Amino acid sequence: MARRIAFVNEKGGSCKTTLTVHMGAWLATVPGKRVLLVDLDPQGQLGKTLGYDVSAYNRTTLELLLDDTRDPALFLRRTRFENLDVVLCNKSIALFPTLVASDPDRDVRLSRAMDRVEDYDFVLFDSPASFGTIMLNLLVAAREVIVPVNASFLALDGCAELVKTMEALPATHSLPEPELRLIVPTLYRPTRMADSVIERLNAHFPGRVHAEPLRYDVKIEEAQSHGRTIWEYDPRARSCEMLSRLGGQVLAMGPPRARREAASVPPAAPQRPTVVDLRGRQREL
């Protein structure tokens, strides 16, 4: 079964799309591995980074989620990279929450669609910068979550919130919880503030923070605006090696152990009956 990895952070500009595209392109170069990228962001930046005019397509993530009768292969497109395919997204996905509002299974549509997709070793999801039906679908479909964190204080708060949301999924939505695999500090510049953010991330999430941050590198921005990966745009750019090492780590850490399923939430302890005594205090019978 494919490893399903979501790149998530509710904050825009934290390098979700950058990491999804680069991890996908890197993993697709591993001999024998096939990779599928799935975009869930109405901005469609993932497809744009791969050189597509995403507004021109109508077999996108939205149609994949809505049409569970057709072969999902109809929605996949080959990219210019061997062994790397993509499901494109555009702003039409904003209609999804309304279109499935009355469907009691609306939060598991992506997961079911992915169950019907075969022949991939990795499925990587790029996510929108907001929480809602689309994000819930993503957290249910993904088994692993990588959180890119822009090294600023506000981003740190967002990260803690996101992890709380993930951990609460079995209880709040009776949905299984994906595993937080890695936090990747991004847009790093060597300042005292950025170092203190990384220190706090390490204190909060010991063992999960990638030791090497993705440094601020204007070449990545340029590469993205040309619809290229950094390795294609400038193989001597300073971030090339970091992104290759990150790819190596994602590959090497292998799939997670079994995840916590919704059914494993322990039932609430039975309440003992209580009485109110003459002074108005409550006590157990």
Ligand X SMILES: Nc1ncnc2c1ncn2[C@@H]1O[C@H](COP(=O)(O)OP(=O)(O)O)[C@@H](O)[C@H]1O
> What are the residues binding ligand X (CB under 6 A)?
12-18, 45, 187, 214, 216-218, 220-221, 224, 239
Position 60 contacts Mg ion (CB under 5 A): no
CB of 258 to ligand X, least distance (A): 29
| 87 Cβ contact list (under 8 Å, min separation 6) | 36, 37, 38, 39, 60, 61, 64, 75, 76, 77
Q: Name the minimum Å distance from CB 34 to ligand X.
A: 23
CA–CA separation, 154 and 148 (whole Å): 13
CB of 187 to ligand X, least distance (A): 5
- Compute the least distance from the CB of residue 200 to ligand X, in Å: 20
187 binds, among ligand X, Mg ion, none (CB under 5 to 8 A by kind): ligand X
- Nearest residue (CB) to ligand X, 18 versus 229: 18
For the bound state, the minimum distance from the C-beta of residue 275 to ligand X, rounded and expressed in Å, comes to 55
Using rule CB under 5 A, residue 9 touches Mg ion: no
17 forms part of the interface with Mg ion (CB under 5 A): yes
Q: How many CA atoms lie within 13 A of 277 on its CB side?
A: 6
CB nearer to ligand X: pick between 43 and 165: 43
Cα–Cα distance list, 242 to 85, 88, 133, 175, 217 (Å): 23, 27, 33, 35, 11
With H, G, I as helix, E, B as strand and everything else as coil, classify residue 24.
Answer: helix
Backbone angles phi, psi at 237, to 5 degrees: -60, 150
User: To which residue do tokens 């949905």 refer?
Assistant: 175
Task: Give the Å distances, CA to CA, from 202 to 151, 182, 268.
Answer: 12, 11, 33
Range list of H helices, 101-152: 109-115, 133-141
In the list ligand X, Mg ion, none, the entry touching 209 (Cβ below 5 to 8 angstroms by class) is none
Q: Which is nearer to ligand X, 71 or 161 (CB)?
A: 161
Q: How far is the CB of 120 from Mg ion (least distance, A)?
A: 21
Cα distances (Å, whole numbers) of residue 230 to 164, 223, 224 = 33, 6, 8
By a kind-dependent CB cut-off of 5 to 8 A, residue 127 interacts, out of ligand X, Mg ion, none, with: none
Q: Which of residues 39-58 bind Mg ion (CB under 5 A)?
A: 45
In the complex, which residues of this chain contact Mg ion (CB under 5 A)?
16-17, 45
